[in-house]
Amino acid sequence: MRDAPRQLPPLWRLWFGLVGAAAAWALQLVASYTLVAHACFPGPMPVGTPVIPGARVIALVIGAAALGFGVAALLVALGAWRETRPPVGVERESGGAGERRSGFMAFAGMFTSTVFIIAIVMNVFPLFVGPLCVVAT
């Protein structure tokens, strides 16, 4: 006797897990770049000190928000992947296309979320180690 078919994760969770961290990284990159570029180069000549007070803190807040969004995407993808796995001790049957697609999208979401979380951290790291504005002499 076959068990009742498992409920697959909803598509919105699969898509959020797959592209959520990438979208967070892209928004963080554009927002931080725009902020720091204007703070350090407000006119025809670059300045040594940011003209926007607290530009570093604002960029850090943008990075923290992007990191939180990326981690949320990773956790959603992990939860969706766990839902597509068979229960412990049960052999996996070759499921239908929907089940295989869900498992693939969830696993790919875990991978892409991890990669883009690393990218977000790498974008935030320079804010801790160097000056925000540098004028070449």
| Residue indicated by tokens 């598509």 | 11
Residue ranges of alpha helices (H) inside the chain are 11-40, 55-84, 97-124, 126-129
pLDDT of residue 68: 98
Angle between helix 55-84 and 97-124 (nearest 10): 160
Q: In a structure prediction context, what are the per-residue pLDDT tens digits for the chain, which is 137 residues long?
A: 455 556 788 899 999 999 999 999 999 999 999 999 999 888 888 888 888 899 999 999 999 999 999 999 999 999 999 888 766 666 656 556 556 788 899 999 999 999 999 999 999 999 999 888 887 77
Task: Please tell me the pTM assigned to this model.
Answer: 0.84
Q: Output the CA torsion sign for 20, 26, 29, 34.
A: negative
Long-range contacts of 30-36 (CB under 8 A, 24+ apart): 31/62, 32/59, 32/62, 32/63, 32/123, 35/59, 35/62, 36/132, 36/133
Q: Domain-by-domain residue ranges, the chain?
A: 11-88+97-129
